[in-house]
Structure 1
């Protein structure tokens, strides 16, 4: 998802660096059994060895955390260098099957894993999960990355990917503009949020700056938040995880789509939303050209630097007073090609990301998100009053309320670029109805999952 994949957390902890140190010194591919598509058991903890190794990576453009992590990893393990290629998320979504098959990277930012697992393009990480102890982490961290080998619904089975952190989405707001319309605290209900949108429009402030251009548009963010306000996250997750009989064309989701259409008709979005890409949205928000922005905590660190003290964040409010908060909540998904050359080293890196104190600090300071990892340790400290502090608090509340959802863009590999985005662009342009949008997406979904 933007990060889109970005997208969803989350009691996470810290273990000592000593717990991450290897018990053996075999280099990558040094003869120790490897985890394969059948989940072969490992006999020792893999490492990156001591010989020079160059790791190949395929990362997403515009997000500094993965590069910050690889740079720090090379400082701690000087024998490991990185050869990293970057592309926009839309390009990665389109290229993933070909890249994994023809030029298999050791570590790759992944869109959606279902079709990649079915086509045997991803390495089964069960062996690594067992030897590193990943299975003892909170199950919700990894559920979205599990499938049965050969395909099937997500949420259970073997582990085929890992997260570099655990993100939460919600609503960023400009504190200066909020003060102009009398907003002294985040809205507690959808009705209160609607009232703020009206006040912003009356004050000649763009209520919502939201990208909806390109191959992966951003109107899926407000739509899914509205879905959560009108219904429960369970049926949405069932649809995303491809559970048998699941549908997105529910009565509650129809109300959500109708509500979004109402915002469009009322002029609550920037007029050129369909021509706006993600980078332009960020530029406009940072320039003070919008009150609200639906986005994820991966921008928290950047906003704390670019707009210190001027940005707030809250989970999208429930539909009724006292309702539970819900939000998209997902790992920043990375995996290994089935034929990755340095799979052991990649697995060691993934474990280091979740357990090393400096790496966990990078996840918070640069990524603005919860680190992955065990549940029994403290979070790195963050400065009070920062937007990063607010996003971390919001993630904890979502976890407490059991309101985490995967992103609707992750239901299939093609659903985001080929269905949600064009249909939402048509909705904004007045060429699609809310009811027609959901029926079209459901039809595309059934064709893509084969039922």
Structure 2
């Protein structure tokens, strides 16, 4: 599997790419009763072994477990691994087993909450002070009593959180007289025009697999209402994609296509090709996520910058896509107090936060006021951490619209965005088609 939005570089990447079919990240569940007064926040002194079910190719849990045992020698770990596909398919059986693990990588919830297979983490929110964390960052990990994501009880936490933005080639920027990242949409568009006039590709992008939708959603985020779009992504009854903000954002993409701001062969360019071409120096800007920061840094070095897509007006609040590398605690875990202590430790302990960043390149989450892990000064990873802190401050996290349903990406977003950047349809056409596919899939 890919490794994008997968903090593990697997899960998060796919989630970012839009949960290509198999990955509709319904990151949540429904209530399992528990009272805030009843939960403990102290770690046992007894010798215990915590069992984690994780995907292959995700070394973060190994590194975190090693450090936790170093700090708490009485706690050992057993990490069972399987392919992402197998783990996803077998998770209901694992959760229902009398030998359920204590923690499980769970990118999709399915009926696990309805079947009372997950631990409700809400009682721990006050107990541990998680209410100080970014509410928007955690919203996709909640589900209400009607089995709708985005509100209700908390059933997951992330081991790393992705964030999206724009990479800039500073060599091209210098040539164009651009001295700093744009701080408004108007400034961003002025930079695009400068690049086009100088025969420098304004935006390196590809849409063979629909990834131009990083840019599509960035513009919809700018023109639209974050909560309304979140409601649509989380399948809230009555929510619609067909809004003035969505149409305006899609129309802007059509306008950029008409002006030649994208590669002429954009619909023939896949993800790997477009990131490679950007890293080899083609294009002033690239819409992507922090999972690519280290790769861009390795290729472009100090001649690169990573920033949040600007707000409509200078000084405005930012909205950007991000997703958690989601893990859940099975209701049948035999070590609930200890494993939740471990989850809290991952977000709050300095060594753990550093490991999360070093292994995944993703922000460790937690309280925005907590000191950031150490990174090389001026690096793109440092840019990503600052972006995450700003987004938490602005309460601007939003899930990927490609995660709205299991089929929305393949059935509507990819083919319709290809028509949009091919200057074949209008923004209204794009939005209408996506909404119709969504409504059909959900039976609305």
Q: What TM-score does the superposition give when structure 2 sets the normalisation length?
A: 0.78
Change (3 A) 1:305 1:36: same
Counterpart CA distance in 2 for 1:48 and 1:278 is: 48
* 1:20 aligned partner: none
Partner in structure 1 of residue 141 of structure 2: 145
Shift of 1:412: 2.8
How far the C-alpha of 1:130 sits from its partner, in A, is: 5.5
The correspondence for 1:309, drawn from 297, 302, 309, is: 302
Check conservation: 1:117, 1:151, Cα contact below 8 A: no
Deviations 1:232-254 (A, max 9, x none): 32322232233332211112211
C-alpha spacing 1:265/1:102, structure 2 compared with 1 (3 Å): farther
Whole-Å Cα distance in 1 between the matches of residues 334 and 405 of structure 2?
27
Aligned residue runs from structure 1 range 162-181, under 5 A: 162-181=157-176
| 1:11 matched residue in structure 2 | none
Offset of 1:328 from its aligned partner?
1.9
CA displacement, residues 120-178 of structure 1 (integer Å, 9 cap, x when unaligned):
486233277369626444251422211125513x2322112111233321111111122
Aligned counterparts of 1:84 and 1:434: Cα–Cα separation in 2 = 44
Partner SS state of residue 172, structure 1: strand
SS at match of 2:79: strand
The CA distance in 2 between the partners of 1:234 and 1:435, in whole Å, is 21
Cα shift readout 1:308-343 (whole Å, capped 9, x = no counterpart)? 312101211223344433222443333356677987
Match of 1:264 among 254, 257, 261: 257
Number of residue pairs aligned between Structure 1 and Structure 2: 408
Paired position in structure 1 for 2:23:
none
Separation in structure 1 between the aligned mates of residue 117 and residue 146 of structure 2, nearest angstrom: 11
Q: Are 2:227 and 1:234 equivalent residues in the alignment?
A: yes
Post-superposition offset of 1:360: 0.2
Other-structure match for 2:32: 38
| CA deviation string 1:193-214 (max 9, x = no partner) | 2232233233333322223234
Structure 1, gaps ≥5 residues long? 8-34
Q: Distance in 1 between matches of 2:218 and 2:134?
A: 24
Tell me, what secondary structure is at the counterpart of 1:252? helix
Which of 181, 195, 201 is the equivalent residue of 1:186?
A: 181
Question: CA shift at 1:263, angstroms?
Answer: 1.9
Q: Does 1:77 align with 2:69?
A: yes
Residue in structure 2 matched with residue 445 of structure 1 by the alignment: 438
Is 1:99 aligned with 2:93? no
Do residues 157 (structure 1) and 152 (structure 2) align? yes
Which 5+ residue runs of structure 2 have no aligned equivalent? Answer: 6-11, 18-28, 71-75, 96-100
Aligned with residue 390 of structure 2, among 374, 380, 397 = 397
1:319 aligns with 312
Q: 1:205 aligns with which of 197, 200, 204?
A: 200
Q: Displacement of 1:285 after TM fit?
A: 2.2
- CA offset digits 1:84-123 (Å, max 9, x no partner): 3455xxxx5xx78633235657422515x5x555664862
Distance change in 2, residues 1:315/1:343 (3 Å): same
1:15 equivalent in structure 2: none
Contact 1:100–1:337 (CA<8 Å) still a contact in 2? no
- Is 2:413–2:434's contact at 8 Å kept on the other side of the alignment? yes
Equivalent residue, structure 2, for 1:12: none
User: Is the alpha carbon distance of 1:303 and 1:132 closer, same or farther for their aligned partners in structure 2, counting shifts above 3 Å?
Assistant: farther
RMSD: 3.5
Residues 44 and 131 in structure 1, CA contact (< 8 A), matched pair in contact too: no
Structure 2 match to 1:110: 107
